[in-house]
Structure 1
Amino acid sequence: MTSLNGGEHVIRAANTTGDFERAARLRDELVDTLRSRGKIVSPAVEKAFRTVARETFVPPGTPLEEVYAVDRAVVTKTDEHGRSLSSVSATYIQARMIEMADIHPGMAVLEIGSGGYNAALLAEIVGPDGYVVSIDIDSEIVERAGALLSRTGYGGRVSVVHADAEYPVPGFGPFDRTLVTVGAWDIPPAWLDQLVADGVLVVPLRMNGITRTIAFRRDGDHLTSSDAEVAGFVPIQGQGAHTERTFLLPDPNGARLWLQFDSGAPEEIRLLDGVLATESVSVWSGVTIGKGISFADLHLWLAAFLPGFCRISADPGTDLAAKLGKTWFPLGGVVGGSFAYLAVRPAMDDTGVEFGATAHGGRAAAIALVEQIQAWDRTGRHRSPSFGFWPAGSTVPKLPEPSAVLHKRHGAVSISWLPASQNTPIIRPRRVGGVN
């Protein structure tokens, strides 16, 4: 598992240990918390989380309080620059993904992105009549996961395979459920070809730089979401990798901003040369939000509808970086020679903040961003987005407004904000048996 974003706080191995009884107590406390927050709802998932010792799958010396935190991922491998390549994901998203998959005893489950702990949880749920295949493109991760699963008694119940997930898993399948535990930009044909007709695919899908972990079920010639969760994961490697385009904007004071485009980068990016030397201007929307209330769906709305949408980062140690999450958020857009980022200021009644945009190079990008904030407030704010995936060869029909369609290599993703009465998940009959 390699989940890192979406509210998770990454921690690294430390040098303290705890005894078995303390670990068991913390494990039970964690499960109680996950149940109270609605992340665990079924007895089978609860039993698996109470049974599998998470501390045996993290680096030795990791403090038990961090191992059994709700929202922390434990890094298990980094690259030469210290960036995480693999981790044991935060427990809340592991529980949610397994619940979203609706797994039952006797099922065959494919896990894309290995680590050991999540595969052990899956093995507990499918039981002796089911089986789990866990694949990863990194041979070192595969070796480590296989050794840990064998050491903890799951070696005979989980097959760990070194493979690129872009292609079918040789010698296995079809699968009743597929859980993807790395961030995917697309859904390759192999994932659908090796999934049974009434199967479920749970995947953290990146849509113009914003990720939602989505449970998909087949609906005729396409997939329809049945559940979704805010969470992000490190990007998939191999043939399914997608490289963002990143542009550097230096300013006269030596600070730098980085603009990252998942797709649709402006062709005339040179129009932004020197833009940070221009005076900034802010435009305010009149749209407010209370303190402590998530506005993650606004991020998704902007990714779907804002022209020139990009993610923005600032050099550490700069004034702008110090204000991140306080006066601005790292999302914005580019219009010609103008760029703007999402800004906030205290609301007039001091109960929250007002959304706006701060721009350089003129007001055009700020106005475009504010227009989308207002559109979200009118038609998307009180609706939950639903998602569809339309494989290459299928036709995306005219969708009810507001909807957006994002094109991928292997198909297209639709995002629709519909009234609750029109946004009913497609639920297929449960399949209790084993492999076809």
Structure 2
Amino acid sequence: MNETADATTSPEALRATMLAKVQQQGYAKLPEVARVISEVPRHEFVPEASLADAHNPWQAVITHRFADGTSLSCASAPFVVALMLDQLAVERGNKILEIGAGTGYNASLLAELSGNEANVVTIDVDPDVTEQATRNLAATGYSGIHVVTGDGALGVPEHAPFDRIIATVSPWDIPRAWWRQLVPGGKLVVPLRWRGQSRSVGFTYRDGLLIADSIELCGFVYLVGDDEGEKSAPITDDGTIRLHWDRDQPVDLEALRGVLDRPRSTAWSDVTIAGDEPHDGIWLRLTVTDPRVCRLNVPADTAPSVCDPISPGRAPALVEDSSLAYLTSRRRDEDDSTRWELGAVAHGPAADELARHLCDEIRAWSMHRDDRKPTLVAYAADTPDSALPGPPIDKTHSRLVLAYEIE
């Protein structure tokens, strides 16, 4: 806790500083989004946090946890709040559904953007969370917002239809109820998961399709009960290193058991990045170009001789039968500036091919870096292959088709 900041800096000044830092990074682009973030007292929705923590632009404030200690509810980091509100592009008078009530802070921002508290509905499955949100909203003068305890995957049909739907929890799929409760031309912003990674996707609902307008990196607490689509299992005898994949991917766990004990093949791409330069676009690209991409989770204390991914907690990996490759990096010093070269480590019979292929993908990404985003369209699950413009990622309620436009 920063007691000095709490004692000498007003919440208004801290909000102004918080907003300035968020805007410097390219968020809160819309004037109305900047306005409501500057006006709504964020600290009053997280009274257990210090003023400094409440206004940290990059820090979420955890307010509720599962019994095992994992977070269940939080006030999202201000930059994420701004990012998603930019994507949502609320207009005055819009009716809005929020999935995941959290502290009530986001609902208050939505009410300000809509101009009418009664237009905002927020739902959460946990009664402790909705009680907290109700209490915070009442204390800050937003008692007209509808707070509902229930399954967010079902939406809130009694208040539908909605002009805007925003999910502040991360689903593996887009529940069919959300499609039905969104008006034609309406917008949905959702931290959607596919191929092991999560992206905040801004969709517009048009002609029965959800067409992405924007795709941004983010991470959220998972939607409760929405875990049947992403699979996870250890690939080492001690159970510490795990693979995560989607259920439509043909992963053979028995074939992969002990794969990291097999001879290692390493390849380097000659592509370098600075220490603070993003590389997540490689993963996004792989979800478009390679159906074999999964996620590898490696404990931070794992010896590099065992497994050396670019990011221990989560790194893209390619799986083919009994072979696996993952993204790695090594430090290079050039012209007195430190840079990291991107490469691939692979194990198994197809190690050499997988490592070379991953390096090819790194080089292809490097031509555009993160400036080039794919198109993403969600089709209903019963859409036949013949009506799809490309190979899908199949989920329960939807079929995702990602592609790069031909230049």
Give me the TM-score of the superposition, normalised by structure 1. Answer: 0.82
Range with greater deviation from structure 2 (30-39 or 407-416): 30-39
CA contact (8 A) 2:61 2:76 kept: yes
Q: Deviations over 1:83-138 (max 9, x none)?
A: 11111001111112112111122221110110200001111121237610000111
Range with greater deviation from structure 2 (359-368 or 185-194): 359-368
Aligned counterpart for 1:336 among listed residues 317, 321, 329: 321
CA contact (8 A) 1:255 1:315 kept: no
Which amino acid is the alignment partner of residue 321 of structure 2?
G
- Which position in structure 2 is the counterpart of 1:104? 91
Aligned counterpart for 2:183 among listed residues 186, 190, 196: 196
For 1:184 and 1:328, the matched residues in 2 are separated by: 20
For 1:329 and 1:370, the matched residues in 2 are separated by: 18
For 2:173 and 2:311, the matched residues in 1 are separated by: 33
- Which position in structure 2 is the counterpart of 1:91? 78
Q: Deviations over 1:352-390 (max 9, x none)?
A: 333221122342432443343344446886522221111
- Which position in structure 2 is the counterpart of 1:278? 262
Question: Matched residue of 2:318: which SS?
Answer: strand
Alignment partner of 1:242 is 2:231: no
- Which position in structure 1 is the counterpart of 2:36? 48
Q: Deviations over 1:245-294 (max 9, x none)?
A: 2222336xx68421122334545321233333333221223334455321
- Which position in structure 2 is the counterpart of 1:222? 209
Alignment partner of 1:71 is 2:58: yes
CA contact (8 A) 1:110 1:179 kept: yes
Which amino acid is the alignment partner of residue 232 of structure 2?
T
Range with greater deviation from structure 2 (136-145 or 374-383): 374-383
Q: Deviations over 1:169-214 (max 9, x none)?
A: 1421211111111111111221121111121111111111111111
Q: CA 1:220 to 1:171, structure 2 compared with 1: closer, same or farther past 3 Å?
A: closer
For 1:47 and 1:378, the matched residues in 2 are separated by: 37
How big is the shift at 1:346?
A: 3.8
CA contact (8 A) 2:211 2:376 kept: yes
Q: Deviations over 1:383-410 (max 9, x none)?
A: 22221111134456454xxx65211111
Aligned counterpart for 1:171 among listed residues 137, 143, 158: 158
- Which position in structure 2 is the counterpart of 1:23? 11
Which amino acid is the alignment partner of residue 80 of structure 2?
I
CA contact (8 A) 1:97 1:202 kept: yes
For 2:37 and 2:30, the matched residues in 1 are separated by: 11
Aligned counterpart for 2:295 among listed residues 311, 323, 327: 311
Q: Deviations over 1:8-39 (max 9, x none)?
A: xxxxxx69593696222101111222233331
Alignment partner of 1:208 is 2:195: yes
Range with greater deviation from structure 2 (364-373 or 164-173): 364-373
For 1:18 and 1:349, the matched residues in 2 are separated by: 43
- Which position in structure 2 is the counterpart of 1:433? none
For 1:285 and 1:404, the matched residues in 2 are separated by: 28
Question: Matched residue of 1:171: which SS?
Answer: helix
- Which position in structure 2 is the counterpart of 1:261? 245
Q: CA 1:86 to 1:19, structure 2 compared with 1: closer, same or farther past 3 Å?
A: same
Aligned counterpart for 1:369 among listed residues 340, 355, 358: 358
Alignment partner of 1:233 is 2:217: no
Q: Deviations over 1:229-253 (max 9, x none)?
A: 2112111113x443532222336xx
For 1:201 and 1:329, the matched residues in 2 are separated by: 27
CA contact (8 A) 1:383 1:419 kept: no
For 1:206 and 1:273, the matched residues in 2 are separated by: 25
For 1:80 and 1:288, the matched residues in 2 are separated by: 42
CA contact (8 A) 1:106 1:130 kept: no
For 1:22 and 1:56, the matched residues in 2 are separated by: 13
Q: CA 1:378 to 1:395, structure 2 compared with 1: closer, same or farther past 3 Å?
A: farther
Question: Matched residue of 1:166: which SS?
Answer: helix
Question: Matched residue of 1:228: which SS?
Answer: strand
Identity value in percent: 32
**CA RMSD in angstroms, aligned pairs only:** 2.9
How big is the shift at 1:312?
A: 1.4
Range with greater deviation from structure 2 (274-283 or 254-263): 254-263
- Which position in structure 2 is the counterpart of 1:186? 173
Give me the TM-score of the superposition, normalised by structure 2. Answer: 0.88
CA contact (8 A) 2:309 2:329 kept: no
CA contact (8 A) 1:41 1:99 kept: yes
Range with greater deviation from structure 2 (259-268 or 276-285): 259-268
For 1:42 and 1:307, the matched residues in 2 are separated by: 36
- Which position in structure 2 is the counterpart of 1:302? 286
* Structure 2 unmatched ranges of 5 or more: none
- Which position in structure 1 is the counterpart of 2:378? 389
Question: Matched residue of 1:418: which SS?
Answer: coil
How big is the shift at 1:52?
A: 1.3
